[in-house]
């Protein structure tokens, strides 16, 4: 009896076979499993396998990354060979959507995917910098070459005016902090995530896909999935690169003799010629008698070296998968004193306890150290000590040191030493500032989560996940009392310590059911709570007792509080998704979310989106038609929904406040902020219609989509009647509206697929058009300042946000060398310094132009079109990858050019040597008159400095060689690849500034594409290797 | 089938919510570093600080912390402009204002900001748990300041009270706390001049009845409102209304029938023996004066941490470098040319010649280091208000009026004595009283008020034109920002 039982239950059989690809080559690491069980194995390197399966097993499933899954009935066969076909990328790919995954064919929203391999080896500090040009609808640009600076990320245009337009970043299901937590030294909080740990990035763009994130989804959602162990033997990977980086696109400025000559010419033309006693510019010689001719770029820029090491070990069996990785990076930037170091460690483990219960978790620690400097690059465009500006403006006929070896500084005026110049010089000496000042931002971040899953009966799965994201940062600054910004304080050291702490707890129930094998239904319901506290405090210690002290903890006589803030916010949500498909041809999906957020008085809002899709190519009529040989796949989909935005709003936004003051010597309290209990989310209604197609058996695949976002309830300062006496005479109100519309096209092709040579290419192209449709009461224009001073950008109803508002100029009058401007009535007027505006026609006096009266709008500042073109070539063991990033159709405000033509004591670009000197000269540089800061566009914002911002860049090139497998396995490794890569190697543009990608205002919504005294971008060349064990 | 599905769905949702353990209270966080309306009036100390906050609003450098006095004086003929700087009142001085000019916009904003602070405090007091007497005292202070603010606005933006046909050109009366978004509250028309005065007097009458008689001695008797301050302000207001009988009634509460003139009840105001006690001279090292002595009825205090702000204080405008910017100097053709104002008069000591120009150095210190307080009302003004009212009311050379005039004159110039016989008629006495006002209150912000209440013309000075009562620039334009957001408001004619 027992024996019979035993044999009945232990009856197994062995099935063997070989798995090959469509060329007949053996495929290693293919997972062969018994369908419906966890019994399985993986194929050997030559493609053969041997599986012990129970006799009741019916079907074998063969799956492998990049290949279509195949299922074969076992029947009574003992040997099953199979040939796997490359997977239909567009349809079988697994796509991560909010709180779950779907197959690409089922996705009816608009989701773009970027695979890990694309970003693993790019020499950036943070993964978001490597995403340019990789997905349609997503424009990511680098604002400058400073390490640690967050990139400018725009998903389908700019989606807010007062709040943030940066997408929601979700890492492994936990919404993460983003943005810059540093002070003067930039510290992009996302740089704590090791790019090599990322498996894939999905970007949810339309309402149907992103509505599951409800009130935070208006600017799109970036879903980051980190790597997990893969079935099969344990893999160990070591990736490393080392390289160097330099600035490129440097603008030539005058040398000492040219500078001296032209400044003196300016003095003569101003009627105040050099007189050898109080006025004039003169060269000097150094201690060896050589002419002092300083290239200030050399004093500020350098060739920076960097290295990055990444090691990981991972593996999985049927029950458990694990992944352990560590990363060390030490990068020097193109600027002296700009460094980035990061150490991360990550461990994840998932374990299937039994068929019902599984458990998992991950722990990620990172420490990033950003050493920075006052670059004046993002937000500090007019900082007089901004290192971005100094090489452009400092006089070349003096040097960083005096002939006696001490620093060349003028203590009476706190600027660079005069040398032999008699006319006053301005600006500070960057060498002493770089030597003595210190700016750093260091952060420790822990991201951890623990999750569990229970398979309940009737096809319901319960999943719970609890995660934390804790960031501690310390921003330190020291400004020396000898020179620069620290002089007014006698030396000042500032420390600010802050903590951002967040916990998130999600619970979901997922129900999947098929009926009659025709109807497939999936239902997800869940709740999520997210609680964040923000606390920072610090102080500025002033008047140091001795120049020796350069740390906060030294000896100072004064102290002033700085950087204090304390707040919290809480988000409570209920969400759900229903997906239904009929015969895998017709798909419907609804996502909805109800969010309650603590910063609003009206706590709750409802968001949702619906979408539908039709896979036309599954229809019988299609399959039987003759064009289906050519058009192999066709899917049409559309979606509509409403999502919200509150990112960037204060945690107590709706409250009214009373703030402190003084009456004589006594403390007082007074009403200081009028709150708005009606304040609520900005809303975005998104429409998206698209079609996906495949040609020639999906050798070419593509997608075309049209999108339109109607953004409403933009939070703006609504002006109040001053007689109401409301503080600030404005109340934050949901009152503005804006539209974004465009088309996304992407095309991928396996152009050549041969045994030895492959070439695949994919191109994406996006158009965008933005229009502001209403502002606060009265629709008054909003002028947006750069660096707090100049206002070249305007937000006006009927125009694209942040377009330029400039006085039109028409070059230089050849008769007299004066800059010509055009007044609002068409009169052309010309400027003679100082202060004289006359009509061009007859020389009679005229009023001068002013921005308020005569400016015209030049727009858009946002690119009308952008995209990328990615090419992968493989020849035997060699691989080449080229990514081209292009953008254009917009204007860029080249404020730096204005500074480079300024006729005060600032240095100029070499183009001023082509200035007007005599009647008949045709040039666009006016007659050089010392002190003139109007003709160049410093005193007035002029159209002369608005240029087209079109460019094509080769963003990445990499050339690699993978050693042949036979050679490698002899030394016990599984693969080695060597490569050399370049970041930003080539740029093609007509823009005359450093680089048209520059944004002095970073992610600011109202003032894009402004280049004012920024630093250029960097080109990096690195050599690396990837080793697999 | 469907029903089972639906039930399962409901169970699903219920289960997830329970499991979610939703924490409702975290949805209502309370800020920990700012006070919100719910707790801003909860303790006596906070209420006291709120009341001080109203004073702080009135003391804004754009308002009674400095510029109000300056605007009133540079409209008159005593000062000539030195610097042609649009930031320091050039367009007020030469009567070329428009609705965009900084003075117009900033003054209006500051005045109404102060009024709203008073209204917010009045609202907060309604639910405050303090005892009734204290609450009423605070209400008195709030209403006193609200009245002072509305009055100040009227004296620049509104037509004078005697111009009855143009009564509709008053200012906007704000009596409610404006704390949140309310589109209807934006659109409020101008009240009539008479209505505004009625409200001012109502507020001052309430203040008189409820303010403390004495703020405990010390500086608070001058820097915080007290009963006698309300009475003194009423004398000024009634004088603007030309209601001389009322001036007399009010003044008699704090001025006795005969010299020596000292208030019998409340704070015992009287003239200081020496004007230098009220306005200390320039010495080195600089000293602060006893700005809050018995002569001071209401004064705005400053400290080195609480200044009027750059280019806002009288010291900045009237002192030549290095203590100020010297934007205005004394018109040699103004009151300084008056023969009757003897050179031995102590008040002449304030007029200091520097580089050929005479500057008024009543606020001699630099506002940046030792700031001088700004007096709003002094006892000598009450005496002269009373004197003028007596003469106008009785239309005779009133003996008590002459006594009052003598008290003020002889405090600074003991050698001059006015006699009843010395005045040919009532008008001669009035003229002398008006001259005394110009001498006594030079730079203290009363000149424009006096010119306008008498229907006078602002005489031409240097390159600035004369402006008659019918002239557009006689009153200030309503600021553009108000007209853009308050569509119910009517601009003064001519702008």
pLDDT band, very low/low/confident/very high, at A90 (cuts 50, 70, 90): low
Residues of A in contact with B172 (CB under 8 A): 723
Mean pLDDT of B175-190: 91
Element (H, E) at B366: none
Do B27 and A598 count as a contact with CB atoms less than 8 A apart?
yes
Mean pLDDT of A574-598: 92
Mean pLDDT of B397-413: 94
Residue A929 has pLDDT above 70, yes or no: yes
Percent of chain A residues past pLDDT 70, beyond the cut: 96
Residues of B in contact with A674 (CB under 8 A): 178-181
Cα atoms in the 13 Å half-sphere on the side-chain side of A386 = 22
Q: Do A231 and A1012 form a contact (C-beta atoms < 8 A)?
A: no
Do A663 and B55 count as a contact with CB atoms less than 8 A apart?
yes
Residue A9 has pLDDT above 60, yes or no: no
**Structure confidence by residue, pLDDT tens digits, A403-422:** 999 999 998 888 899 999 99
Element (H, E) at B113: helix B102-126
pLDDT value of residue A6: 39
Nearest-by-Cβ selection for B484 from A458, A668, A778: A778
**Can you tell me which residue has the tokens 């500034």?**
A993
Q: What is the 3-state secondary structure (H, E, C) of A770-820?
A: EEEEECCCCCCCEEEEECCCEEEEEECCCCCCCEEEEECEEEECCCCCCEE
Nearest-by-Cβ selection for B185 from A528, A669, A724: A724
Query: Which residue does chain A place closest to B47, by CA atoms?
Result: A669
Do A668 and B52 count as a contact with CB atoms less than 8 A apart?
yes
Do A651 and B302 count as a contact with CB atoms less than 8 A apart?
no
Residue A314 has pLDDT above 80, yes or no: yes
**Structure confidence by residue, pLDDT tens digits, B90-131:** 999 999 998 888 899 999 999 999 999 999 999 999 988 889
**Any idea where the domains of chain B sit in the sequence?**
44-485
DSSP helix/strand/coil, B104: helix
Closest approach of B160 to chain A, Cα-based (Å): 20
Q: Name all contacts of A663-667 with Cβ < 8 Å and 24+ positions apart.
A: A663/B52, A663/B53, A663/B55, A663/B56, A663/B59, A663/B223, A663/B301, A663/B306, A664/B219, A664/B223, A664/B301, A664/B302, A664/B303, A664/B306, A665/B301, A665/B303, A665/B305, A665/B306, A666/B49, A666/B52, A667/B49, A667/B52
Residue B241 has pLDDT above 80, yes or no: yes
Residue A833 has pLDDT above 60, yes or no: yes
Mean pLDDT of B187-215: 95
Do A671 and B116 count as a contact with CB atoms less than 8 A apart?
yes
Token pair in block for residue A704: 């075309």
pLDDT value of residue B7: 56
Token pair in block for residue B255: 């001025």
C-alpha closest to that of A155 among A198, A225, A203: A203
Q: Name all contacts of B465-471 with Cβ < 8 Å and 24+ positions apart.
A: B465/B94, B465/B95, B467/B95, B469/B160, B469/B163, B471/B95
Mean pLDDT of B313-324: 86
**Structure confidence by residue, pLDDT tens digits, B153-173:** 999 999 999 999 999 999 999
User: Distance (Å, rounded) from C-alpha B261 to C-alpha B267?
Assistant: 13
Mean pLDDT of A543-548: 91
Residue A60 has pLDDT above 50, yes or no: yes
pLDDT band, very low/low/confident/very high, at A98 (cuts 50, 70, 90): confident
Residue A17 has pLDDT above 50, yes or no: yes
Do B12 and A659 count as a contact with CB atoms less than 8 A apart?
no
pLDDT value of residue B286: 60
| Mutation target among A646, A652, A716, A724 for the B interface, most CBs of B within 10 A | A724
Percent of chain B residues past pLDDT 90, beyond the cut: 69
> Mean pLDDT for chain A?
89
pLDDT value of residue A1021: 95
**Structure confidence by residue, pLDDT tens digits, A99-128:** 888 888 778 888 888 887 778 778 888 898
If one compares A878 and B23, the residue with the highest pLDDT of the two is A878
Residue B22 has pLDDT above 60, yes or no: no
Residues of B in contact with A565 (CB under 8 A): 33
The verdict on ipTM greater than 0.85 is: yes
Do A657 and B16 count as a contact with CB atoms less than 8 A apart?
no
| Mutation target among A529, A533, A570, A722 for the B interface, most CBs of B within 10 A | A722
> Mean pLDDT for chain B?
90
**Would you tell me how many other CB atoms lie within 10 Å of the CB of residue A739?**
16
Per DSSP, the residues of A202-234 read EEE-SHHHHGGGGGG-TT-EEEEEE----BEEE
Do B31 and A652 count as a contact with CB atoms less than 8 A apart?
yes
Residue B24 has pLDDT above 90, yes or no: no
From A500-504, A605-609, B9-13, B75-79, the region with the lowest mean pLDDT: B9-13
The per-residue b/e assignment along A155-176, b for 16 or more CB within 10 angstroms, e otherwise, is bbbbbbbbbbbbbbbbbbbbbb
Domain B44-485 has CATH 3.40.50.970: no
Do B187 and A569 count as a contact with CB atoms less than 8 A apart?
no
User: Distance (Å, rounded) from C-alpha B288 to C-alpha A166?
Assistant: 55
Do B57 and A507 count as a contact with CB atoms less than 8 A apart?
no
Do B301 and A663 count as a contact with CB atoms less than 8 A apart?
yes
**Structure confidence by residue, pLDDT tens digits, A233-261:** 788 999 999 999 999 989 999 999 999 99
Token pair in block for residue B469: 């009562």
User: Distance (Å, rounded) from C-alpha B445 to C-alpha B151?
Assistant: 13
Do A523 and B20 count as a contact with CB atoms less than 8 A apart?
no
User: Distance (Å, rounded) from C-alpha B254 to C-alpha B238?
Assistant: 15
Q: Which of A681-690, B13-22, B193-202 has the highest mean pLDDT?
A: B193-202
**Can you tell me which residue has the tokens 């029938």?**
B257
pLDDT band, very low/low/confident/very high, at A620 (cuts 50, 70, 90): confident
Nearest-by-Cβ selection for B27 from A603, A733, A780: A603
Residue A538 has pLDDT above 90, yes or no: yes
Residue A534 has pLDDT above 80, yes or no: yes
Strand ranges (E), A480-598: 492-515, 519-544, 556-561, 565-582, 586-597
pLDDT value of residue B162: 95
pLDDT band, very low/low/confident/very high, at B355 (cuts 50, 70, 90): confident
Helix, strand, coil percent values for chain A (each to nearest 5): 10, 50, 40
Residue A4 has pLDDT above 60, yes or no: no
Nearest-by-Cβ selection for B20 from A529, A664, A733: A529
If one compares B150 and B276, the residue with the highest pLDDT of the two is B150
pLDDT band, very low/low/confident/very high, at B372 (cuts 50, 70, 90): confident
Residue B442 has pLDDT above 90, yes or no: yes
User: Distance (Å, rounded) from C-alpha A751 to C-alpha A279?
Assistant: 69
DSSP helix/strand/coil, A840: coil
Separation in Å, CA A421 to CA A312, A905, A907, A912: 60, 10, 13, 20
**Structure confidence by residue, pLDDT tens digits, B252-309:** 999 999 989 999 999 999 999 889 888 877 766 665 666 788 899 999 998 877 888 8
Residue A819 has pLDDT above 90, yes or no: yes
Residue B244 has pLDDT above 50, yes or no: yes
pLDDT value of residue A378: 60
No. of H helices and E strands in chain B?
A: 18, 6
Closest approach of B194 to chain A, Cα-based (Å): 19
Do A663 and B105 count as a contact with CB atoms less than 8 A apart?
no
Residues of A in contact with B8 (CB under 8 A): 458, 511
pLDDT value of residue B1: 45
If one compares B467 and A411, the residue with the highest pLDDT of the two is B467
Do B15 and A663 count as a contact with CB atoms less than 8 A apart?
no
Residues of A in contact with B49 (CB under 8 A): 660, 666-669
Residue A377 has pLDDT above 80, yes or no: no
pTM of the model: 0.80
Residues of A in contact with B21 (CB under 8 A): 505, 529
């Amino acid at each position: 009896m027992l024996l019979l039982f035993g044999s009945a239950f232990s009856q197994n059989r062995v099935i063997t076979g070989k798995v090959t690809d469509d060329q007949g080559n053996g495929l290693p690491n293919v997972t062969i499993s018994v369908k419906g069980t966890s019994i399985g194995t993986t194929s050997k390197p030559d493609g053969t396998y041997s599986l012990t399966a129970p006799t009741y097993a019916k079907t074998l499933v063969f799956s492998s990354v990049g290949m279509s899954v195949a299922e074969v009935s076992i029947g009574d066969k003992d040997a099953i060979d199979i040939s796997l076909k490359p997977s239909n990328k567009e349809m079988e790919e697994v796509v991560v959507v909010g709180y779950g995954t779907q197959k690409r064919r089922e996705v009816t929203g608009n989701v773009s995917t970027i695979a890990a391999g694309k970003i693993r080896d790019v020499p950036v500090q943070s993964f978001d910098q490597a995403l340019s040009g990789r997905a349609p609808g997503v424009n990511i640009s680098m604002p400058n070459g400073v390490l640690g600076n967050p990139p400018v990320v725009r998903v389908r245009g700019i989606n807010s005016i007062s709040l943030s337009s940066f997408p929601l970043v979700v890492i492994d299901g936990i919404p993460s902090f983003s943005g810059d937590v540093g002070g003067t030294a930039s510290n992009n909080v996302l740089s704590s995530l090791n790019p090599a740990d990322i498996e894939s990035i999905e970007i949810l763009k339309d309402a149907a896909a992103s509505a599951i994130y409800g009130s935070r989804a208006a600017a799109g959602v970036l879903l980051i999935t980190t790597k997990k162990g893969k079935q099969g033997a344990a893999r160990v990977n070591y990736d490393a690169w080392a390289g160097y980086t330099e600035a490129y696109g440097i603008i030539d400025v005058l040398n000492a003799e040219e500078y001296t000559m032209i400044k003196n010419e300016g003095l003569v033309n101003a009627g105040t010629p050099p007189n050898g006693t109080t006025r004039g510019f003169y060269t000097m010689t150094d201690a060896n008698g050589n002419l002092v001719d300083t290239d200030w770029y050399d004093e500020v820029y350098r060739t920076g070296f960097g290295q990055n090491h990444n090691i990981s070990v991972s593996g999985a069996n049927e029950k458990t998968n694990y992944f352990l990785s560590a990363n060390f990076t030490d990068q020097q930037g193109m600027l002296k004193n700009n460094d980035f170091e990061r150490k991360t460690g990550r461990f994840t483990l998932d374990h299937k306890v039994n068929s019902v219960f599984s458990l998992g978790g991950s722990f990620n620690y990172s420490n990033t150290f950003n050493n920075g400097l006052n670059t004046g690059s993002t937000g500090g465009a007019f900082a007089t000590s901004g290192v971005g500006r100094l090489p452009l403006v400092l006089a070349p006929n003096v040097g960083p040191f005096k002939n006696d070896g001490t620093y060349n500084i003028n203590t009476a005026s706190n600027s660079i030493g005069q040398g032999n110049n008699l006319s006053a010089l301005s600006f500070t000496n960057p060498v002493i500032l770089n030597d003595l000042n210190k700016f750093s931002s260091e952060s420790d971040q822990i991201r951890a989560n623990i999750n569990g899953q229970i398979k309940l009966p009737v096809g319901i799965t319960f999943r719970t996940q609890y995660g934390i994201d804790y960031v501690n940062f310390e921003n330190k600054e020291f400004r020396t009392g000898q020179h620069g910004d620290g002089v007014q304080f006698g030396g000042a050291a500032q420390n600010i310590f802050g903590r951002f702490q967040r916990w998130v707890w999600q619970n979901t129930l997922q129900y999947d059911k098929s009926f009659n094998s025709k109807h497939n239904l999936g239902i997800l319901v869940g709740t999520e709570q997210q609680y964040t506290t923000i606390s920072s405090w610090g102080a500025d210690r002033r008047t140091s007792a001795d120049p020796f002290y350069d740390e906060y903890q030294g000896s100072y006589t004064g102290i002033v509080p700085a950087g204090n803030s304390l707040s919290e916010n809480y988000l409570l949500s209920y969400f759900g998704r229903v997906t239904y498909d009929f015969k895998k041809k017709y798909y419907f999906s609804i996502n909805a979310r109800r969010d309650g957020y603590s910063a609003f008085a009206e706590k709750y809002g409802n968001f949702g989106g619906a979408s539908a899709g039709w896979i036309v190519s599954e229809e019988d009529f299609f399959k039987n038609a003759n064009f289906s040989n050519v058009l192999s796949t066709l899917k049409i989909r559309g979606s509509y929904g409403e999502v919200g935005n509150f990112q960037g709003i204060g945690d107590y936004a709706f409250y009214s406040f009373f703030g402190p003051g003084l009456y004589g010597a006594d403390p007082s309290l007074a009403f200081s902020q009028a709150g708005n209990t009606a304040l609520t989310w900005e809303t975005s209604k998104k429409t998206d219609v698209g079609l996906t197609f495949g040609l020639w058996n999906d050798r070419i695949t593509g997608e075309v989509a049209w999108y339109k976002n109607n953004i409403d309830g933009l939070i703006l300062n609504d002006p109040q009647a001053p007689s109401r006496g409301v503080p600030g005479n404005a109340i934050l109100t949901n009152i503005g509206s804006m539209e974004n519309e465009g088309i996304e096209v992407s095309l991928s092709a396996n152009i050549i697929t041969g045994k030895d040579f492959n070439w695949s290419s994919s191109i994406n192209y996006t158009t965008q058009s933005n229009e502001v449709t209403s502002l606060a009461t009265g629709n008054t224009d909003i002028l947006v300042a750069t660096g707090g001073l100049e206002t070249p950008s305007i937000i006006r109803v009927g125009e694209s946000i942040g377009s330029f508002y400039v006085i039109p100029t028409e070059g230089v009058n050849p008769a007299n060398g004066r800059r010509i401007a055009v007044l609002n009535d068409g009169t052309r007027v010309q400027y003679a310094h100082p202060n004289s505006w006359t009509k061009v026609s007859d020389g009679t006096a005229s009023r001068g132009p002013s921005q308020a009266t005569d400016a015209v709008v030049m727009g858009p500042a946002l690119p009308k079109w952008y995209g990328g073109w990615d090419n992968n070539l493989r020849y035997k063991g060699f691989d080449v990858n080229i990514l081209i990033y292009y953008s254009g159709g917009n204007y860029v405000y080249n404020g730096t050019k204005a500074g480079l033509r300024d006729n005060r004591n600032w240095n100029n670009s070499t183009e001023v040597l082509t200035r007007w000197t005599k009647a008949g000269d045709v040039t666009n540089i006016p007659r050089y008159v010392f002190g003139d800061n109007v003709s160049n566009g410093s005193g007035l914002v002029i159209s002369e400095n608005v240029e087209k911002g079109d460019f094509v860049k080769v963003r990445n090139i990499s050339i690699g060689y993978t050693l042949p497998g036979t050679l490698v396995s002899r030394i016990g490794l599984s693969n080695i690849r060597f490569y050399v890569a370049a970041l930003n190697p080539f740029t093609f543009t007509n823009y005359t500034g450093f680089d048209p990608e520059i944004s002095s205002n970073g992610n600011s919504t109202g003032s894009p594409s402004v280049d004012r005294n920024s630093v250029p971008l960097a080109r990096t060349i690195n050599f690396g290797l990837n080793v697999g064990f | 089938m469907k029903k089972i599905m639906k039930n399962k769905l409901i169970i699903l949702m219920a289960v997830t919510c329970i499991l979610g353990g939703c924490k409702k209270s975290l949805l209502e966080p309370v800020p920990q570093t700012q006070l919100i309306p719910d707790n801003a009036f909860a303790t006596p100390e906070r209420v006291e600080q709120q009341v001080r906050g109203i004073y702080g609003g009135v003391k804004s450098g754009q308002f009674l912390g400095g510029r109000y006095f300056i605007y009133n004086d540079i409209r008159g003929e005593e000062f000539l402009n030195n610097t042609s700087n649009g930031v320091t009142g050039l367009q007020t001085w030469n009567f070329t204002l428009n609705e965009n000019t900084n003075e117009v916009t900033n003054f209006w904003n500051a005045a109404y900001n102060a009024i709203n602070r008073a209204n917010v405090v009045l609202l907060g007091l309604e639910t405050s748990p303090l005892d009734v007497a204290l609450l009423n005292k605070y209400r008195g202070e709030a209403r006193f300041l609200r009245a002072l603010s509305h009055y100040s606005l009227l004296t620049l933006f509104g037509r004078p009270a005697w111009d009855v046909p143009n009564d509709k050109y008053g200012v906007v009366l704000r009596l409610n706390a404006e704390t949140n978004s309310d589109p209807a509250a934006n659109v409020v028309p101008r009240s009539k001049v008479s209505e505004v005065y009625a409200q001012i007097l109502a507020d001052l009458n309430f203040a008189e009845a409820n303010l403390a008689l004495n703020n405990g001695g010390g500086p608070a008797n001058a820097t915080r409102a007290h009963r006698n301050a309300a009475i003194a302000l009423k004398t000024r207001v009634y004088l603007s209304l030309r209601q001389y009988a009322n001036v007399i009634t009010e003044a008699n509460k704090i001025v006795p029938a005969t010299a020596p003139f000292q208030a019998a009840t409340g704070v015992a105001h009287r003239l200081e023996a020496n004007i230098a006690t009220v306005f200390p001279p320039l010495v080195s090292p600089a000293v602060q004066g006893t700005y809050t002595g018995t002569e001071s009825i209401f004064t705005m205090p400053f400290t080195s941490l609480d200044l009027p702000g750059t280019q806002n204080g009288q010291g900045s405008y009237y002192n030549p470098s290095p203590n100020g910017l010297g934007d205005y100097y004394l018109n040699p053709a103004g009151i300084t040319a008056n023969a009757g104002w003897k050179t031995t008069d102590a008040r002449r000591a304030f007029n200091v010649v520097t580089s050929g120009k005479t500057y008024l150095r009543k606020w001699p210190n630099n506002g940046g280091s030792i700031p001088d307080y700004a007096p709003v009302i002094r006892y000598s003004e009450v005496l002269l208000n009373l004197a003028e009212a007596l003469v106008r009311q009785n239309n005779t050379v009133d003996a008590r009026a002459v006594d009052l005039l003598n008290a003020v004159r002889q405090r600074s110039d003991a050698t001059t004595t006015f006699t009843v016989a010395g005045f040919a008629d009532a008008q001669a006495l009035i003229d002398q009283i008006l001259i005394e006002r110009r001498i006594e209150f030079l730079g203290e912000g009363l000149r424009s008020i006096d010119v306008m209440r008498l229907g006078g013309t602002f005489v031409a000075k240097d390159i600035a034109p004369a402006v008659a009562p019918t002239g557009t620039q006689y009153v200030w334009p309503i600021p553009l920002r108000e007209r853009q957001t308050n569509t119910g408001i009517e601009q003064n004619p001519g702008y």
